[in-house]
C-alpha cells in the first residue's frame, strides 16, 4: 500500500494527533516500519449491512417492493437478500442477525386498531399488535430500524415503551410510493458510503423535500425516533461467528430476482381462491384450475405465479415458468399434457 500525502511538520505531542498516530511516528523515527493506523489512511467507517423484510399479503394493495430493491441495487447499498416478513423470519433476524445491522421492514400498517400485517407460509395476512410485535425478539439489538409502513410511528413508539428506545425511521401517515422510493434511494446511497445514519436520514428527507411531482409535502412524514445526536456514529460490531447456518438466505450471494412477466391489467384479486390454491401446494405437486371459457383462469394463473415467485421465501421463489401445454411433445402412448390433466 502506497500513501501519498502532503507533509507538514507536527510535534509528536501535538494534541491534534491521536495516541496511535504519535506512536507510529515515533516508531518511524526510531527506524521501525510499523503499519500506519487507520486514522492515517483516512479509512471510512464500514457501512452497515441491510436486512430487508417485506410483507404484501394476498388481497391487500400490493406494495412496490420491486422498486425499493431496484433502488438498493442501483445505489450499491450493502443489502442482503430480501425475505418475506413472517413471524419466523422476523424472529430469526432479531435473535441471530440484527446486531450491528440495519433492519428494513416494508409492510402494511393500520392505525385503528394499531396493527402490522405480516404474511404466513401461504402469503395470507397475519395481524400483530404492539404487544405481540415486542415479544418476538430483542429489538434493542438492531442498529437502526427502517419501518416503512403507513402510520408505523405509532407501533414504533409503543415498541420503545415496551422494549426501550432504539434508533428507528418510520412514517407518521400514509406516504406516496414516489416519495418512499426517493427517500429509500437517497438514504441508502449515503448509508452505503459509510455516513452516520442520522445524517443519512436528514439528507434523504431533504431529497424528498426538494423533489418535484407534488411530493415535497411528504418529507415531514418520515421521522427519526430514539436517536440522540451522534448516537450511531460508531462502527457496527461484526456478527458473531456461526450466527447463520449454511444456505441461510441472508448469506446467499447475488441480488434478489423479481419476476419480470407482464402483469394482468385491472386484475381483481380472488383472495380466497388464491389462498386455497397456495394451501393445496403444501400437500400436492399439481393443481388444476378448471371452469368455463372467459372466467379468468389464465389471468388467475399469471397473477398467482407472479405473486408467489417473488423473492424471499414464497412458494415459487426459486422460479416460475409459464408453458403452453398444447405445444409440449406427446408423452409415451400419444397422450399430451392436456390429455393427462
- Per-residue H/E/C for 187-242: HHHHHHCCCCHHHHHHHHHHHHHCCCCCCHHHHHHEEEECCCCCCCCCCCCCCCCC
| Cis omega (within 30 of 0) for bond into 113 | yes
Beta-strand relationship, 114-119 and 144-148: unpaired
CATH topology of domain 50-225: Rossmann fold (3.40.50)
Domain ranges of the chain: 1-43, 50-225, 271-340
**Average pLDDT rounded to a whole number, residues 116-120:** 93
DSSP string, 152-166: HHHHHHHHHHHH---
225-277 residue pLDDT tens: 986 544 443 333 333 333 333 333 444 344 455 566 666 666 777 888 888 88
Cβ pair 80, 50 in contact under 8 A = yes
- For the ranges 15-24, 60-69, 145-154, 311-320, the lowest mean pLDDT is seen at 15-24
- Rg over alpha carbons for the chain, rounded to the nearest Å, is 25
pTM: 0.67
Cβ pair 278, 308 in contact under 8 A = yes
- Regarding predicted confidence, which is higher, 304 or 232? 304
In whole numbers, what is the pLDDT of the chain averaged over residues?
74
Hunting for cell 415535497 — which residue is that? 216
128-164 residue pLDDT tens: 999 999 999 999 888 899 999 988 999 999 999 999 9
1-11 residue pLDDT tens: 333 333 344 44
Residue 84's DSSP bridge partners are 54
Query: Which has the closest alpha carbon to 221: 182, 170, 267?
Result: 170
Beta-strand relationship, 144-148 and 168-171: parallel
Joined together, the cell numbers standing for residue 65 give 417492493
Which band of pLDDT confidence, cut at 50, 70 and 90, is reported for residue 86?
very high
Amino acid at each position: 500500500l502506497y500513501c501519498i500525502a502532503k507533509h507538514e511538520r507536527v510535534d509528536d505531542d501535538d494534541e491534534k494527533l491521536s495516541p496511535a498516530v504519535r506512536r507510529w511516528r515515533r516508531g518511524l523515527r526510531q527506524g521501525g516500519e510499523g503499519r500506519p493506523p487507520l486514522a492515517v489512511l483516512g479509512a471510512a467507517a464500514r457501512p452497515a449491512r441491510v436486512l430487508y423484510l417485506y410483507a404484501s399479503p394476498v388481497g391487500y394493495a400490493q406494495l412496490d417492493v420491486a422498486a425499493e430493491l431496484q433502488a438498493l441495487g442501483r445505489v450499491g447499498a450493502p443489502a442482503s437478500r430480501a425475505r418475506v416478513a413472517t413471524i419466523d423470519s422476523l424472529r430469526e433476524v432479531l435473535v441471530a442477525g440484527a446486531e450491528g445491522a440495519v433492519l428494513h421492514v416494508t409492510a402494511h400498517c393500520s392505525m385503528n386498531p394499531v396493527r402490522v400485517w405480516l404474511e404466513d407460509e401461504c402469503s395470507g395476512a397475519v395481524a400483530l399488535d404492539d404487544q405481540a410485535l415486542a415479544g418476538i425478539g430483542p429489538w434493542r439489538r438492531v442498529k437502526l430500524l427502517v419501518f416503512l409502513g403507513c402510520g408505523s410511528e405509532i407501533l414504533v413508539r409503543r415498541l420503545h415503551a415496551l422494549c426501550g428506545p432504539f434508533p428507528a425511521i418510520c412514517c407518521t401517515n400514509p406516504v406516496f410510493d414516489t416519495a418512499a422510493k426517493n427517500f429509500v434511494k437517497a438514504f441508502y446511497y449515503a448509508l452505503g458510503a459509510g455516513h452516520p445514519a442520522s445524517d443519512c436520514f436528514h439528507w434523504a428527507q431533504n431529497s424528498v423535500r426538494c423533489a418535484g411531482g407534488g411530493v415535497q409535502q411528504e418529507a415531514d412524514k418520515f421521522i427519526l425516533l430514539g436517536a440522540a445526536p451522534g448516537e450511531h456514529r460508531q462502527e457496527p460490531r461484526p456478527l458473531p461467528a456461526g450466527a447463520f447456518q449454511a444456505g441461510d438466505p441472508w448469506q446467499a450471494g447475488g441480488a434478489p430476482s423479481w419476476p419480470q412477466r407482464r402483469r394482468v391489467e385491472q386484475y381483481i384479486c380472488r383472495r380466497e381462491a388464491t389462498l386455497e390454491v397456495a394451501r393445496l401446494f403444501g400437500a400436492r405437486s399439481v393443481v388444476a384450475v378448471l371452469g368455463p371459457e372467459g372466467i379468468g383462469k389464465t389471468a388467475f394463473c399469471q397473477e398467482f405465479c407472479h405473486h408467489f415467485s417473488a423473492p424471499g421465501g414464497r412458494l415459487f421463489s426459486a422460479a416460475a415458468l409459464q408453458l403452453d401445454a398444447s405445444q409440449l411433445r406427446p408423452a409415451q402412448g400419444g397422450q399430451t399434457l392436456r390429455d393427462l390433466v
